């Protein structure tokens, strides 16, 4: 339970910092991934173990990218081509991952597959500072909430965190949109 509580606290801090467009969010992100890797291993959520391990690396990359010059820190929108691409990647990635996870003792292979792939895509777009990341995170957080709620060993703190993140995705979209438009926050 301590891993779950720790990951929740780190996730709330990270969520607030990323909503405010702060580079330091990646430090809390990296720490949270360490907690979640261990939690996911214990609960046999192998997609999440893989996902969170990749996140750990993406967190380091995100920290580096967000520290570069002003131009690389500019928030933009994904093009129609990028939107089509991420929709295809999420759909195909979910199906492929599901085919792998259904052969394991993963208690929720379809949900685990979807949340694994969609959160990887959302993290990639968060690293690239694409405002579209928040639409992906919004959907992802709803499905993560469901996953953690119906997990045999219900993860109530992570369920709560994902409910909070669902609302924070909306607030982050609004905030990033204001930043993108050059409005005062």
pLDDT tens-digit readout, 128-173: 999 999 999 999 999 999 998 998 777 888 899 899 999 999 999 9
Residue 122 has pLDDT above 80, yes or no: yes
Alpha-carbon distance of 124 to 143, in angstroms, equals 19
Please give the pLDDT value at position 16.
93
Burial class (CB in 10 A: 0-12, 13-18, 19+), 101: buried
Alpha-carbon distance of 63 to 58, in angstroms, equals 8
Task: Name residues whose C-beta falls within 8 Å of residue 84's C-beta, 6 or more positions apart in sequence.
Answer: none
Residue 54 has pLDDT above 60, yes or no: yes
Please give the pLDDT value at position 185.
56
Please give the pLDDT value at position 184.
63
**Are 124 and 68 in contact, with CB atoms under 8 Å apart?**
no
Top-confidence residue, 68 or 7: 7
Residue 70 has pLDDT above 70, yes or no: no
Residue 44 has pLDDT above 80, yes or no: yes
pTM to 2 decimal places: 0.84
Please give the pLDDT value at position 141.
95
Residue 61 has pLDDT above 90, yes or no: yes
């Amino acid at each position: 339970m301590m891993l779950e509580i720790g990951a929740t606290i780190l996730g709330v801090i990270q969520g607030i910092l990323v909503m405010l467009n702060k580079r330091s969010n990646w430090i809390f992100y990296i720490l949270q991934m360490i907690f979640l890797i261990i939690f996911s291993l214990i609960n046999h959520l192998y997609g999440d173990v893989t996902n969170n391990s990749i996140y750990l690396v993406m967190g380091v990359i995100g920290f580096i990218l967000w520290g570069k010059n002003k131009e690389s820190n500019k928030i933009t929108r994904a093009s129609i081509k990028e939107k089509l691409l991420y929709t295809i990647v999420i759909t195909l990635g979910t199906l492929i991952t599901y085919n792998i996870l259904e052969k394991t003792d993963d208690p929720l292979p379809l949900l685990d597959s979807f949340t694994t792939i969609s959160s990887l895509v959302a993290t990639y777009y968060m690293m690239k500072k694409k405002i579209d990341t928040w639409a992906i995170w919004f959907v992802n957080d709803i499905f993560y909430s469901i996953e953690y709620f119906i997990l045999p060993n219900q993860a109530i703190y992570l369920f709560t965190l994902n409910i909070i993140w669902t609302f924070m995705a909306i607030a982050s979209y609004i905030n990033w949109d204001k930043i993108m438009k050059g409005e005062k926050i």
